[in-house]
Amino acid sequence: MTKWQRSNRKNKGYKLEPYNPVWADEFARLKASVAPLFGDNLIDFQHIGSTSVPGMLAKPQIDVCAIVKSLDLAKDLRPAFTDLGYTAKGDYVEQNEEYFTFDNERGERKYNIHTLQEGNPAIEGYLSFREYLKAFPDALHEYIVIKQDLRNTYGENDYNSYDWNKGDRIAKLKQDAIAWYRTKPRP
């Protein structure tokens, strides 16, 4: 996210909830309805973020990493996503992606789809962090404590402060995750 986007992003409230197994079912429904839009361009459609990690404290929104052969072809899908009620935000967080969001009728974020071209290092970042938290209960607990501390510090009506400070607090966990993930054999 650029400094301009960060300074101009409207602040909002948020809720952190204990892990809910319904999130896996919600991802499966989302995948069934959205993944076909990508056609042959789609390589993989992965559930990422906190709702993908059993036991994690999370905002109840599903994050996805859609891995594609061509990002340019994914950009052509903006009208199709808009027709389904999504907002196309382009490369919103500066990682060479096509980012789609979906909010419910109350304005609550439900889905974030990060569309990334194969080879983009952000893919490894997302997948490694998810797998690391699943494999290491101490890391999972550390991340939960960080989230709780940030919520206690900034409250649930200041998402910007929560989110911006979380990145610094979890940087070491993410570095450890990537280092560990690179040692794992690939199928």
Q: Does residue 5 lie within any of the structural domains?
A: no
Give 124's pLDDT tier (boundaries 50, 70, 90): very high
Give bridge partners of residue 47 from the DSSP assignment: 64
- How does residue 8 score in pLDDT terms, banded at 50, 70 and 90? low
User: Does residue 3 form part of some domain?
Assistant: no
Identify the bridge partners of residue 101 per DSSP, sorted by sequence position.
87, 112
Q: C-alpha angle with apex 80: 79 to 82, nearest 5 degrees?
A: 60
Please check the confidence at residue 153 and state whether its pLDDT lies above 50: yes
Least confident of 59-73, 94-108, 116-130: 94-108
| Beta-bridge partners for 109 | 103
In this prediction, residue 1 carries a pLDDT of 44
Is there a domain that residue 98 lies in? yes
Q: Is 4 a domain residue? A: no
Domain count, the chain: 1
How many Cβ atoms are within 10 Å of 109's Cβ, its own excluded?
17
- Judged against a pLDDT cut of 90, whether residue 176 lies above it is answered with yes
Per the document, the length of the chain is 187
Q: How confident is the model at residue 5 (pLDDT cuts 50, 70, 90)?
A: very low
pLDDT in tens, 37-54: 999 999 999 999 999 999
- Please spell the DSSP secondary structure of the chain, one letter per residue: --HHHHHHSPP-----B---THHHHHHHHHHHHHGGGGGGGEEEEEEESGGGSTT--B-S-EEEEEEES-HHHHHTTHHHHHHTT-EEEESTTSSSEEEEEEE-TTS-EEEEEEEEETT-HHHHHHHHHHHHHHH-HHHHHHHHHHHHHHHHHH-TT-HHHHHHHHHHHHHHHHHHHHHHHTTSPP-
Instruction: Return the closest-CA partner of residue 143 out of 112, 178, 167, 107.
Output: 167
Report the CATH number at residue 33: 3.30.460.10
Q: With contact defined as beta carbons under 8 Å apart, do 147 and 159 qualify?
A: no
Q: Which domain holds residue 79?
A: 11-181
- For residue 99, is pLDDT > 70? yes
Confidence of residue 94 (pLDDT cuts 50, 70, 90): confident
| DSSP states of 105-130 | TTS-EEEEEEEEETT-HHHHHHHHHH
Q: What is the pLDDT of residue 184?
A: 87
pLDDT tier for residue 3 given thresholds of 50, 70 and 90:
very low
Indicate whether 6 belongs to any domain: no
The reported pLDDT for the residue numbered 186 is 74
Q: Is residue 99 part of a domain?
A: yes
Residue 144 in domain: yes
